[in-house]
Chains A and B, each alone.
Chain A
Amino acid sequence: MLLFVEQILNGLQLGIMLFLMSAGLTLVFGIMQVINLAHGSFYMIGAYVGATVTAQTGSFVLGCLAALPAAALTGMVVEILVLRRLYERDHLDQVLATFGLIMFFNELTRIVWGRQPLFMDVPAWLAGSVELIPGVPYPSYRIAVIAVGILVGVLLYLLFTRTRTGMQIRAGASNREMAGALGVNIRLLYTLVFGLGTLLAGLAGVMAGPILAVESGMGESILILTFVVIVIGGIGSIRGALAGALLVGLVDTLGRAFLPLLLRLFFSPAYADGVAASLASMSVYLLMAAVLVWRPRGLLPAHG
């Protein structure tokens, strides 16, 4: 039972990480109608810059503070230089161009930082573990990740419902020409939205740094799950991204944790482990298929 609670927490933490990634991606996808495969690259840039600054200054907070603008600025520069030329083109062109960006950024990190993975550690004040429920020690750092994710969710909600910029973004999403005619600077707005999306990716990257290997190509492994999340949640919907991310995080984690035990009830252990390993890696895709059959536009679609 305690193990179950711990695994739920693990699932939530993975879900929060996916939420940070998918919130940015779904904004770009839903509002700007651009398929951006290079989203994982901004996650990687966040992690690399965070790891470098943390190593130089010894301060994790400074590392985070440096990673966020680095990812956001890189994102905005990419938007101005590359993506602006792609809004009117079809999705295949966008896929090709942003796939090229992935290779560009992977090679760039190898040139700048070398081939070895970088080191980044959990800050000392988050290094221990906390007993949220007696008998379940849980790493403080992962709890901090969950807290930051919830905070970001609340801030995004406030941004979109309570501020003028949020209103303009929503207006730009529903009808680009009309919003432009009413005097909203759509170009600037798109650049800002893209910057916000990459900022969130950078935040996810720098928070993943202490848990994962900071290495070239680290963005691709999370990118696929991120796309699954926004498809499940409904493209363009932040609420959908949150729901989808938590669902995917939980299904993936609980599948990996409990499928072997479940299958052992029916098969020999060796066979059960093999089948469970394969089933667990399929679980999120099965989930996606099931959601799409049930609600083809995702759980919480953006418009209506």
Chain B
Amino acid sequence: MGKRLLVVVVALAVLAAVPVMAMEPVKIGMITTLSTKAGYLGEEIRDGFQLAIDQEDGKLGGVPVELLVDDDGRKPEKAKQIADRFIKRDKVKILTGIVFSNVAIAVVPKVVRQDVIYVSPNAGPSLLAGKGCHANYFNVAYQNDNLDEVVGKYVTEAGFKNVYLLAPNYPAGKDHLAGFKRYYKGNIAGEVYTKLGQSDYAAEIAALRAAKPDAVFFFLPGGMGINFLKQYAQAGLNQTIPVFGPAFSFDERLLQAVKDAALGVKNGSQWSHDLDNPANRQFVAAFRKAYGRTPTLYASQGYDAARLLGSALKQVDGDVTKTDALREAIRKADFPTVRGQFAFAPNQHPVQDLYIREVVKGADGKYTNKTLEAVFTDHSNVYVEECKMK
């Protein structure tokens, strides 16, 4: 009799312990780029993510969370090591944070096979949207081509018929130009691939002027874009041939290094700080208050990633051991996005509106983006067909 009682007591104790264990903070691993000159991108994602946690006093969706952050130094192999450590040592079930597509391609396929959920707050390479898609991989930012597609459609509708294209000579450069060409219907005046990391564009700009295009589309991330825009303006071409590009070269932090040379440039984005919806107004005000600067695109993606996870954690009551339930909860995308509306396509990439923005000088003398119009509504991506989700 005594023995049986003991068993019952132990069983009850175990049952009682379960909810206590569930209230232990859920660990979220963030692998992102905080060093190197691209380090500000990771900084923005982290700050946006952290803001969502701080607003709930250390919780997401009412569930206490612990954010583990580590810097990948933009190196795929380093990111892989961090992912291993997060999964094996810290028993993390949710990962996020990677900035660069090549890093994501190296890390994501490996971690999602280990029953870990990965939510991308930035990189959206075609491989992970198409053939390499996976039930545990979600992208809350965009598919890489999206921001080029919107410019392609806008340029066509605005009546440009002879566009000159420029991108660095590496896979992402070709992908971005392909995204533009998918929706651009006119003639291509020239398609130039420059050296990755090139600093002087005098030769390309002279050739561009000689080709007499009626518009220029370029994808040159980071310092390359600054160099190109400055030299383009110095050649006087910004007065005569308008420039278009995806949002990457026009975030609010980069713009302060380009200033007037970027004025009037139209760029494609899925978000802007002036989008008029309650979630966004609240986010931009809170971010400015917390960090003293206007959030960039990347910060908005970090914030949305956190709130998406918050909505899912709430549905599963903070129990991340049942991956199936967690996955279903994320798939619903039932969170107040700063983009106004958001859903997941079958390959778990965003279905969202895409906008054209223009670089302007704000009243405070800072350079920023102003939303002109929504070019796509509920836009998905072309890789849905290739994705055979298991």
**Residues of chain A at the chain B interface (Cβ within 8 Å):** 3, 6-7, 10-11, 13-14, 110, 115-119, 121-122, 127, 129, 137, 139, 141-142, 208, 210-218, 221-222, 253-254, 256-257, 260, 269-270, 273-274, 277-278, 280-281
A213 touches B203 (CB 8 A): no
Min CB distance A275 to B, Å, is 10
A7 touches B206 (CB 8 A): yes
The closest CB in chain A to the CB of B261 belongs to: A121
Whole-angstrom CA separation of A281 from B203 in the bound complex: 13
Interface of A is mostly: helix
A115 touches B210 (CB 8 A): no
A119 touches B192 (CB 8 A): no
The closest CB in chain B to the CB of A282 belongs to: B195
Return chain B residues, CB-CB under 8 Å to A122. Answer: 234
Interface pick from B121-129, B250-258, B280-288: B250-258
A10 touches B169 (CB 8 A): no
B40 touches A115 (CB 8 A): yes
B192 touches A217 (CB 8 A): no
Min CB distance A227 to B, Å, is 16
Whole-angstrom CA separation of A41 from B64 in the bound complex: 46
B223: interface (CB < 8 Å): yes
A6 touches B206 (CB 8 A): yes
Return chain B residues, CB-CB under 8 Å to A13. Answer: 202
Return chain B residues, CB-CB under 8 Å to A211. Answer: 200, 227, 230-231, 234
Return chain A residues, CB-CB under 8 Å to B114. Answer: none
13 A-B pairs with CB atoms under 8 Å apart are: A115-B43, A117-B37, A117-B226, A119-B256, A122-B234, A129-B236, A211-B200, A211-B234, A213-B223, A213-B226, A218-B223, A221-B199, A277-B169
Known: A211-B231, A277-B194, A278-B169. A10 touches B199 (CB 8 A): no
Bits for B199-225, please: 1 = Cβ < 8 Å to A, else 0. 110111011001000000000001100
Whole-angstrom CA separation of A221 from B224 in the bound complex: 11
B39: interface (CB < 8 Å): yes
Whole-angstrom CA separation of A215 from B224 in the bound complex: 11
Min CB distance B80 to A, Å, is 22
Min CB distance A50 to B, Å, is 14
Return chain A residues, CB-CB under 8 Å to B230. Answer: 210-213
B residues 14-43 with Cβ under 8 Å of A? 35-37, 39-40, 43
B197: interface (CB < 8 Å): yes
Known: A211-B230, A212-B230. A221 touches B203 (CB 8 A): no
Whole-angstrom CA separation of A210 from B259 in the bound complex: 12
**Residues of chain B at the chain A interface (Cβ within 8 Å):** 35-37, 39-40, 43, 169, 191-195, 197-200, 202-204, 206-207, 210, 222-223, 226-227, 230-231, 234-236, 253-254, 256-260
B191 touches A3 (CB 8 A): no
B210 touches A118 (CB 8 A): no
A3 touches B197 (CB 8 A): no
Whole-angstrom CA separation of A11 from B258 in the bound complex: 24
Min CB distance A283 to B, Å, is 11
A14 touches B200 (CB 8 A): yes
Q: Select which of B39, B43, B202, B235 is within 8 A of A253 by beta carbon.
A: B202
A117 touches B234 (CB 8 A): no
B195 touches A115 (CB 8 A): no
Whole-angstrom CA separation of A213 from B36 in the bound complex: 15
The closest CB in chain B to the CB of A136 belongs to: B206
Whole-angstrom CA separation of A129 from B202 in the bound complex: 14
Return chain B residues, CB-CB under 8 Å to A142. Answer: 202, 234
Whole-angstrom CA separation of A3 from B227 in the bound complex: 21
Known: A119-B256, A121-B259, A277-B193. A7 touches B226 (CB 8 A): no
B192 touches A221 (CB 8 A): no
The closest CB in chain A to the CB of B225 belongs to: A213
Return chain A residues, CB-CB under 8 Å to B207. Answer: 3, 7, 257
Return chain A residues, CB-CB under 8 Å to B222. Answer: 213
